[in-house]
Amino acid sequence: MLRRRIIPCLDVSAGRVVKGVNFVNLRDCGDPVAAAVRYAAQGADEICWLNITADKESWSALLRQVEQAAREVDVPVTVGGGVSEERHVRELLGAGADKVSINSAALRSPALVQECAEAHGSQCIVVAIDACRSAAGYRAHAAGGRVATERDAIDWAEEAARLGAGELLVTSMDADGTGAGYDLELLGAIVDRVAVPVIASGGASGPAHIAEALARGTSAALAATIFHDGTFTVAEVKAECRRRGLPMR
């Protein structure tokens, strides 16, 4: 059985880590490089860095921060936000990112996923899916959750995997920041449809929620608030997951 991963998430805006509820009411949670170093020391398997207001910020400034993080952190770093063409993937990998997450641009032009996977390998390409419940099921959202699309999130997950995404980062907008637990229905539907690893995101309040998502078949669980607020450390989460019989890295 594949060993499961714990991934602290850094939602970054204007060079600072922020966190909100349902993608709004953001509060400052500190410096992203310092946070990445702290979580790596706690035993994080990876760090996920999402520049959530990239459309309003300097691309070169992001690259400089990623370069600094890559020098100071000894675990893989996935970076996303503002990636709209293949050269962005190339530049982030060159700056030291291990994987690149694509969201809005992939929804606009799914062929970008295939282009980037062919250029850099599927192992480098993560497609992020921000999903919100609707009368018709789940809808994928773009622009940091601000723009609803007509795409069914579960169908889009299957298409993204087929196009070459090596992983899917699935965030429930309804659960995000609430502490009510991951949307296991959403995650289960996607896990059952794709053959690539799925990362659970949105809603964890502690190790029990993380263990539930991993037990449902996700390959990794991403969390933010519980780590930023110091409610739990990465090591404590891993210990509880192991106690529940889950194979952890």
Task: Indicate the DSSP class of residue 175.
Answer: T
Helix then strand count (H, E) for the chain reads 10, 12
Using alpha carbons only, give the angle 200, 206, 208 rounded to the nearest 5 degrees. 80
- Which amino acid does the sequence have at 119? A
Three-state secondary-structure class, residue 10: strand
CA 12 to chain centre: 12
What are the structure tokens assigned to 165, written together? Answer: 């995404």
Q: How far is CA 116 from CA 24, 47, 70, 143, in A?
A: 30, 21, 21, 20
Task: For residue 130, indicate whether it is catalytic.
Answer: yes
Task: For residue 11, indicate whether it is catalytic.
Answer: yes
**Active-site annotation holder among 11, 45, 176, 183:** 11
Instruction: Say how far apart CA 220 and CA 199 lie, in whole Å.
Output: 5
**Active-site annotation holder among 45, 74, 130, 229:** 130
Annotated catalytic residues are 11, 130
